[in-house]
Structure 1
Amino acid sequence: MNNISAKQASTKKKEKFIIQTFKRLIKNRLAVFGLIIIILQILMALFAPLITIHDPIKQNLASTELPLFSSGHWLGTDNYGRDMWSRIVFGSRVSLVVGFSAVILGLIGGITIGMLAGYFSKLDGLLMRIVDLLFAFPGILLAMLIIAILGTSLVNVAVAISIWSIPSCARIVRGSVLSIKKQEYIQAMKTLGASNLRIMVKHILPNCMAPIIVFATMRMATAILSTASLSYLGLGAQPPTAEWGSMISGGQDYMFSSPHMTIVPGIAIMLIVFSFNVVGDGLRDALDPNMNIND
């Protein structure tokens, strides 16, 4: 009965924490605005075939470089006559899929390294030196080096960005683990004979989730921006794939005659990157332990 009561109390405490966090988040108007933009982008990517009437890669040389608000092409067309709205919508799929994939892979690697380094003192020195080695390379240059080795493709872009994300995630998790493993309840679990794996997965990792969630949210912005940057350089999405960075690259030669070819995908990148950043900031404030104490 005592164990059941303790579990119920723990569950209620977690539910209360989630509710309080959500209330703080929705009080942040900028974060709510960003969250709405992200939700709209995700819905737009999921239902892309239903909200577009043109094939994003189909060329129509009779309707090239149409301006904004043209009949049948409200965002105009590019130099090949492809509908800009369709390309923006389908391009959101590429950016979000690559971004989510890169962040998830980076979290898996970073959490694993951070947990092992923080929990096992003997591994700490070795693993952190590997992390320091990855930090020695500027992020975008490291991604370019990895793509140069693996080859040009969106899959390799996701892998490269995930490897770039591992060091930061590992340091965040390691710092949390070093603090949490000194708590009395962790020592009690060891005394009761709980395995290291059980302690790490069931008792330490859940208490590291707040900084991990904030990191993942803000890293999404970096991943999407990096995907666009690499595609702009020709290392990511290849023609005729609709991707925001490659659209900017293809439109830069027409900046004066058809500026919408560059401005429209640029605004799309700006909005989604801004949204993930402000949501990340909002989550960081909402999950602040000091704010939790004051409530």
Structure 2
Amino acid sequence: MKTPLILKKLFRRRIVLGAAICLLVVVLVALLANVITGYDPNETAVSQRLSVPTATHLMGTDELGRDLFARIAFGGRYSLTIAALTATGAIAFGTLFGLVAGFFRRLDAPIMRVVDAMMSFPDILLAIALVAILGPSMFNVVLALVLVYTPRVARVVRASTLVVRELLFVEAARAVGVSTARILWRHILPNLMSPILVQASFIFAYAILAEAALSFLGVGVPPEIPTWGTMVAGSQQYAHDALWVVLFPGFAIILTALSLQLLGDGVRDLLDPRLKKSM
């Protein structure tokens, strides 16, 4: 199926198209923050602290007089980077473990028992424990979230691998002497791309929310890194007098996560043969 036709079918639902546009706007604002904001996100002006939104400061200022719009735009770079690295790492390791567990029967039980043990803990509690052990830093937050979400991907990939490995074209490849590595890479992995893409979109959204939750609880990235989560955490005590200091960063988190969830739903519906007729 050609790419334009895929996109046409994907964006046939207005809610999915709207989610894609919102996500594109968020990404462009983060990438072009230097151009569109006109302020240094770390420049303080105590005399203008907690200023209401005006034409000069579109989203007002925070407790140190820093332009909130600039901080949200630049902070988007950090939040989106953390989420992207988390999704990439979780997909890479989860796909590897899921393929191995699903294809090699002897390794299935030990790998899945480890996965089950990790999934027995709530995601946020496991992430808090890992960051507490590793220490608060951007790298450690990404590492902790990758460890949290890898089992989720591994289970999905394993389930799909168990089905694909029994299909006739895989049996034919084995019969003609194709190596195991080639079977996994050329015959099984391409048939797993649908669930992997859907999981990637969902984990991207989960990672944004998880990073915000960790920062809000004080165990995420250091406060000097202006992610959306650290902005909400650092300004919560001023929310009673200046609601915008938590409203706008919170809205950025919700908008991005919701857009990713809706886009992921659209991709799932497009790639799932059972749901194609309803589209």
Verify same fold: TM over 0.5. Answer: yes
- Correspondence 1:1-295 to 2 at 5 A: 15-16=1-2, 18=3, 20-69=5-54, 71-292=55-276
After superposition, the C-alpha distances for 1:91-146 in whole angstroms (9 at most, x for unaligned) are 11011000000111111110011000000000000100010010111111111111
How big is the shift at 1:292? 4.8
Q: Percent identity?
A: 38
Q: Which amino acid aligns with 2:62?
A: D
* Structure 1 vs Structure 2 CA RMSD: 1.5
- Structure 1 294/48 Cα, relative in aligned 2: closer, same or farther at 3 Å? closer
Give, in whole Å, the separation in 1 of the partners of 2:150 and 2:220: 20
- Structure 1 84/125 Cα, relative in aligned 2: closer, same or farther at 3 Å? same
Q: Which amino acid aligns with 2:91?
A: L
How big is the shift at 1:244? 1.0
How big is the shift at 1:291? 4.5
Give, in whole Å, the separation in 2 of the partners of 1:253 and 1:19: 49
Structure 2 spans left out of the alignment, 5+ residues: none
Q: Which amino acid aligns with 1:195?
A: S
How big is the shift at 1:19? 5.0
**Contact map agreement 1:22 1:286 (CA 8 A) in 2:** no
Give, in whole Å, the separation in 1 of the partners of 2:245 and 2:4: 43
How big is the shift at 1:158? 0.7
Deviant stretches of 4+, over 6 Å? none
**Contact map agreement 2:42 2:66 (CA 8 A) in 1:** yes
Give, in whole Å, the separation in 1 of the partners of 2:181 and 2:206: 32
Greater gyration radius: 1
How big is the shift at 1:25? 0.9
Give, in whole Å, the separation in 2 of the partners of 1:41 and 1:188: 47
How big is the shift at 1:51? 1.2
Give, in whole Å, the separation in 2 of the partners of 1:256 and 1:145: 31
Give, in whole Å, the separation in 2 of the partners of 1:124 and 1:107: 18
* Superposition TM-score, scaled by structure 1 size: 0.91
Give, in whole Å, the separation in 2 of the partners of 1:201 and 1:19: 27
Q: How many residues align?
A: 279
Give, in whole Å, the separation in 1 of the partners of 2:14 and 2:188: 32
Q: Which amino acid aligns with 1:56?
A: P
Give, in whole Å, the separation in 2 of the partners of 1:190 and 1:293: 34
Q: Which amino acid aligns with 1:22?
A: L
**Contact map agreement 1:57 1:240 (CA 8 A) in 2:** no
Give, in whole Å, the separation in 2 of the partners of 1:128 and 1:152: 29
Give, in whole Å, the separation in 2 of the partners of 1:240 and 1:61: 17
Give, in whole Å, the separation in 1 of the partners of 2:43 and 2:222: 15
Give, in whole Å, the separation in 2 of the partners of 1:117 and 1:47: 43
Q: Which amino acid aligns with 1:143?
A: A
After superposition, the C-alpha distances for 1:185-226 in whole angstroms (9 at most, x for unaligned) are 100001111111100011100000001101110111100000
How big is the shift at 1:21? 3.5
Q: Which amino acid aligns with 1:90?
A: F
Q: Which amino acid aligns with 2:174?
A: K
Q: Which amino acid aligns with 1:223?
A: A
How big is the shift at 1:240? 2.7
Give, in whole Å, the separation in 2 of the partners of 1:290 and 1:142: 34
**Contact map agreement 1:227 1:236 (CA 8 A) in 2:** yes
